Amino acid sequence: MSRERQHVTWTDVGRMVRTLLVQLPRDYDNIMVITRGGMVPACLISERTNIRNILCAAVVFYEGSQQKYEEPMFVQFPPDDHVKGRRVLVIDDVWDTGSTIVAVRDRLRAAGATAEVCVLHYKPARSRFPGDKPDYYAEETDGWIVYPWDPDLPLP
């Protein structure tokens, strides 16, 4: 099934981040960035909210566009004692199937953190988690998102 490509510009990213900033509380102890797609939005949100403590989650489900693993493979994740009792904002670029971001959120909660999810794009039609969605998102879409940091795009 071919989905229409939706090209997102840096101006679009700035607009979406501003939309998220209006929604977000400011009382988080940490940001948990999901690599790699969440790195740019997490940095922009961190700078504007002054949340300096950024943790990293590297999770593998896919290689290219094909799912490789049934269960998440956590390549990088902080120890439980770094998140226990803390309010953590989990940031990624897109909630597509939701598998990666839900795995990270649920692992944080199991470690004793209060975790909320923030993404630029939410794709409800593709989500594998009916009744669950990001706590904060800028836009809904069904398209294939091409962000300005996509490796196939030339650098400005």
Q: What ranges do the domains of the chain cover?
A: 5-146
Distance of CA 6 to the CA centre of its chain: 18
Domain 5-146: CATH class, spelled out:
alpha beta
Q: How confident is the model at residue 1 (pLDDT cuts 50, 70, 90)?
A: very low
Query: pLDDT per residue over 39-71, tens digit each?
Result: 999 999 999 999 999 999 999 876 655 666 677
**Backbone conformation region of residue 112, classed left if phi is above 0, alpha if psi is from -120 to 50, else beta:** left
Query: pLDDT per residue over 93-149, tens digit each?
Result: 999 999 999 999 999 999 999 999 999 999 999 999 999 999 999 999 999 999 999
Look up the pTM and report it. Answer: 0.90
Give the separation between CA 36 and CA 98, rounded to whole angstroms: 15
Q: How confident is the model at residue 26 (pLDDT cuts 50, 70, 90)?
A: confident
Residue 2 has pLDDT above 60, yes or no: no
Burial 107-124 (b: 16+ CB within 10 A, else e): bbeebebebbbbbbbbbe
Is there a contact between 135 and 101 (Cβ–Cβ < 8 Å)?
A: no
Positive or negative, the Cα torsion across 130, 89, 42, 81? negative
* pLDDT at residue number 67: 61
